Amino acid sequence: MKLYLKLSILTLLISFSSCKKDDDKIDFTLLQINDVYEIAPIQGGEFGGMARVETVHQELLQENPNTMLFLAGDFLNPSLLGTIKVDGERVRGKQMVEVMNAMNFDLVAFGNHEFDLSQNDLQKRLNESKFPWISANVNLKTKNTSIPFYKEKNNQKEALGETFIKEISDKDGTKIKIGFISVTLPSNPKEYVEYGNMFVRARASYAAIKDAVDVVFGLTHVKITNDKRIAKLIPDLPLIMGGHEHTNSLDTVGNVLIAKADANAKTAYIHRISYDKKTKKTKVTSQLKEINSSIQPDKKIAIIVDKWQTILTAKIKDIIPNPDEIIFSAKTPLDGRDTPIRSQQTNLGKVITAAMSFAFDDKVDAALVNGGSIRIDDQLRGNITSIDIFRVLPYGGDIVKVAIKGRLLKRVLDYGKLAAGTGAYLHRHKIALQEKDWFVGGEKINLNKTYTIAFSDYLLKGFDIPFLSDKNKEVYSVYHPKETELGFDIRKAVIAYLKQKSLK
């Protein structure tokens, strides 16, 4: 009996010694991407690609099972894939949700481009998504009030949260609750969206959650200046994972880190975090990881991406036979980001308008395109392929040659200048503003002269500039190119122009 008792005690001692004691410390990892519009690699396959991101995700899960995957807004639009029709319905971000479901995203924020979609299309994407969404300052407008956005499953509505809480534990038994808050930039007004004050709602959501969790993080989609203000308002946030800007950055405001990765998953931020329950201290170590061709794509995600790319290629081949052909190498990035493209003359805008003139053998006085037609919201760097141009101008359309009176042309140019910040802002070729005067081809505009101008066909429909249409009596003639002509599709014209520039 004594021998049995001794053996039992020894067994218990060995068992206790083999179990790690709860040290009140826990490590976890947050993997962040933001502003991702393309599921496949870009820039000739060199960078990005959601299947590569998933490989990094899986490697981090192997390193630490307490790894979470986040997207800080802007992923449903704009994309070339989103514009094509499958089974009679435009894709509108369906491809992105399918990929993200398979990747098991832990949490996403609303970006301003999510509201490019109609209410009906956005609701479809919300219903299809298996991952949580949060926002403290965007709501769905109804006839009489506003309510949280929701997912609808089996005729049951599940409201999206203003905040998000996740509980994690490690092998030695340390448990903590992690909270997240989110706000979205109110830069995309829509009839069905109500925006609350970003800063008021950020503080309120933090106050609502802070006592229920051990630590709170931000997942935002606002300008960096807004993130910095939030960091000052809520100095106990160890980290804000942000979006909206398309170039990676890592800023510190007090003790708050603000991290943004490059758009289209060219990079991802890996945040390795240690939390001490006794001291309530959070240590964040952030690593910017380039997502490039050295990373093998995850096979499961690659199958989904390839399916959608096959659909896309088939659609594009109806227009151009070799969409992956490298047509130009950009030593200086061509800027198609949403804010500059709608407010100033960028080099990409100049390329497009020069190509419009090129489509008519430069036998026009000038060329104009509205910034809203340029939908890439990104910079084109390095090798540029034909498909990149389709991403720039996903809606296509023909280039029209218009005989227009100088007086109306001046009104159009004045309107475009005043429209800075909107899609009606005009990019120009052979037109310059010198002080207060417009010059066409180096000469001051003559109000009574007839000019021949290459317009994007969208501009002549009067959507952006109400008085510019073929019904205006000062529009004397409109020439629409035949299908065999270069100007029949603006994208083909830009591709041909860049190819010609590469030969020089």
Residue 78 confidence (pLDDT): 85
Is residue 48 in a domain?
Answer: yes
Residue with tokens 């493209």: 341
**Is 144 strand, coil or helix?**
coil
* Band (295; pLDDT cuts 50, 70, 90): very high
Q: Tell whether 75 and 175 lie within a shared domain.
A: yes
Q: Please indicate, yes or no, if residue 47 is contained in any of the structural domains.
A: yes
> Do 337 and 277 sit in the same domain of this protein?
no
Residue 17 has pLDDT above 70, yes or no: no
pLDDT tens, residue by residue, 302-335: 999 999 999 998 988 888 888 889 999 999 999 9
Nearest Cα neighbor of 224 from 202, 246, 204 is 246
Q: State the CATH number of the domain containing residue 147.
A: 3.60.21.10
Express as a percent the part of the chain with pLDDT over 70: 96
Clarify whether residues 285 and 352 are in a common domain: no
332 lies in a domain?
yes
Would you say residue 41 lies in a domain? yes
Contact 336, 380 (CB under 8 A): yes
pLDDT digits (tens, 9 = 90+) for 63-113: 999 999 999 999 999 888 998 889 888 999 999 999 999 999 999 999 999
Please give the structure tokens belonging to residue 23: 């040290």
115 and 216 share a domain?
yes
For residues 48 and 38, the answer to whether their CB atoms sit within 8 Å is yes
Look up residue 174 and give its amino acid. T
Report whether 72 contacts 32 (CB < 8 A).
yes
- Residues 152, 257: one domain? yes
Q: How far apart are CA 160 and CA 143, in angstroms?
A: 20
- Give the Cα separation of 87 and 63 in Å (integer): 42
Residue 55 above 60 pLDDT? yes
Query: Following CA atoms 405, 428, 342, 94 in sequence, which dihedral angle do they give, to the nearest 10 degrees?
Result: 100
8 A C-beta contact, residue 237 and residue 229: no
pLDDT digits (tens, 9 = 90+) for 393-402: 988 999 999 9
Number of domains the chain is built from: 2
Confidence band of 377 (pLDDT split at 50, 70, 90): confident
Domain-located, residue 340: yes
Is 54 inside any structural domain? yes
Indicate whether 378 and 276 sit together in one domain: no
Q: What are phi and psi of 289, to 5 degrees?
A: -110, 120
Question: Before 297, cis peptide (omega within 30)?
Answer: no
pLDDT at 8: 53
Tokens of 288: 């910017």
Q: How far apart, in Å, are the Cα atoms of 229 and each of 35, 258, 295?
A: 21, 11, 36
Question: Is 11's pLDDT higher than 70?
Answer: no
**pLDDT > 60? residue 16:** no
pLDDT at position 18 is 46
> Of all helices (H) and strands (E), which one includes residue 246?
none
Q: Specify the pLDDT at position 474.
A: 98
Give the chain's largest Cα–Cα span. 117
User: Domain check: are 488 and 339 in the same one?
Assistant: yes
Mean pLDDT of the chain: 93
pLDDT digits (tens, 9 = 90+) for 416-443: 999 998 889 999 999 999 999 999 999 9
The predicted model scores a pTM of: 0.84
Same-domain check for residues 283 and 330: no
- Report the CATH number at residue 335: 3.90.780.10
Provide the phi-psi class of 73: left if phi over 0, else alpha when psi is between -120 and 50, else beta.
Answer: left
List the domain range (segments joined by +) for residue 348. 322-503
- Within-domain flag for 437: yes
Same domain, 336 and 249: no
Q: Which band of pLDDT confidence, cut at 50, 70 and 90, is reported for residue 9?
A: low
pLDDT number for residue 14: 47
Residues 252 and 384 in one domain: no
Confidence of residue 13 (pLDDT cuts 50, 70, 90): very low
Confidence of residue 2 (pLDDT cuts 50, 70, 90): low
Mean pLDDT, residues 201-222: 98
Rounded to whole angstroms, how far apart are CA atoms 77 and 88? 19
Six-digit token string for 164: 């998000």
User: Do 286 and 355 belong to one domain?
Assistant: no
